[in-house]
Amino acid sequence: MPDAAVDLTVVIPIFDEEEVLPLLVERLRPVADAWGVTYEVLCVDDGSRDATPVVLQRVRRTWPQVRVVRLRTNAGHQAAISAGLARARGRWVVTIDADLQDPPEVIGEMLAVARGQGVDVVYGVREDRSTDTAFKRMTARAFYRSIRRLSDVDAHVDAGDFRLMSRATVEAVNALPEHNRVLRLVVPALGFPSASVGYRREHRAAGDSKYPLGKMLRLSVDGVTGFSTAPLRFATWLGLLGGVAALLVLVYAVVAMLLGNTLPGWTSTVVIVAAVGAVQLLALGILGEYVGRTYTALQGRPSYFVAHDSADVEADDRPGSQTLT
């Protein structure tokens, strides 16, 4: 594939997906060939520990539009997408997971909407999430609604990381210096003209989910602390309420002493001390999250390290690409 930009890049973050990759290729390739545009499928191997790298190399032998970027270590889902965006060559770039819960057949419709309406971003919106558990649907909606109330980000409630972006949008995202970025909030925060395409979310085609509860909670914390200062204000209000409560207790104690109604009370002392300590620890924890993000940003460490890009290898193998010394 030439070094010049292609019309469309499909970025797919992949981590331990040896079971689902053949199914993904079977679904995606006929759809991609029918788009009628030049394209590349950029598979970002996020430090997989199974046979995923082997399967990807086999796919490349029979599908020349496939490009493999392998990260040295498991950097995480959002970092893998960021690595793909940084190396994508398409005039349009779409991000989609490998598990086939988001149907690749919708990509063509996204491209048509983007061109027809002249927008920079087209979000894939999950209109039917009946395949997800009730807990996941409830927590997802609660998270996005909380973000919309706590910050100025107009994030789609049922939109994940399945989206189409223009080259201008991708370059804007790549120019951002922040670490631990949550792209499903970063992209809406840019405020570029957007549209949406609805679809039905399917069951995972094969394998196990790579996004357990712990990673979902970490993503939620990164999203809240990265786009809102409301938790800091919450900590301030907790401190003020704690001060008012302490003042009321002090007044009560003085009045009780003057009236001669004081009794040695162990329970009340323990309860008050525990309550004040809990408020202080919570406030310190919130402050610590923001201080930690600032510290990470000041360190300036990359979110990922690229070990291999098949496009670079192809460029080195071309005649005349090597110089003699």
| Per-residue pLDDT at 276 | 72
| Per-residue pLDDT at 212 | 60
Could you tell me whether strands 66-71 and 194-200 are parallel, antiparallel, or unpaired per DSSP bridges?
unpaired
Q: How far apart are CA 234 and CA 231, in angstroms?
A: 5
CA atoms within 13 A on the CB side of 31: 17
| Per-residue pLDDT at 227 | 57
| Per-residue pLDDT at 315 | 59
Taking the chain, what is the end-to-end CA distance rounded to the nearest angstrom?
28
Q: How far apart are CA 83 and CA 70, in angstroms?
A: 10
Task: Give residue for tokens 């063509």.
Answer: 108
- ∠ CA 39-40-46 to the nearest 5 degrees? 150
| Per-residue pLDDT at 325 | 32
| Per-residue pLDDT at 318 | 57
| Per-residue pLDDT at 19 | 92
Tens-digit pLDDT profile for the chain (325 aa)? Answer: 445 579 999 999 999 999 999 999 999 999 999 999 999 999 999 999 999 999 999 999 999 999 999 999 998 888 999 999 999 999 999 999 999 999 999 999 999 999 999 999 999 988 877 766 776 677 667 666 666 666 666 667 777 889 999 999 999 999 988 777 888 888 888 889 999 999 988 887 776 766 665 666 666 666 565 656 666 666 667 666 766 776 676 666 667 666 766 556 655 675 677 667 767 767 777 777 777 667 666 656 677 888 888 887 665 555 554 443 3
Task: Give residue for tokens 């970092």.
Answer: 79
| Per-residue pLDDT at 147 | 61
- Rounded to 10°, the helix 183-190/213-227 angle is 30
Tell me the pTM: 0.72
pLDDT in tens, 173-201: 999 887 778 888 888 888 899 999 999 88
Q: How far apart are CA 44 and CA 305, in angstroms?
A: 12
Q: How far apart are CA 173 and CA 95, in angstroms?
A: 13
Q: Please name the helix (run of DSSP H) or strand (run of DSSP E) that holds residue 70, with its range, or none.
A: strand 66-71
| Per-residue pLDDT at 134 | 75
| Per-residue pLDDT at 2 | 43
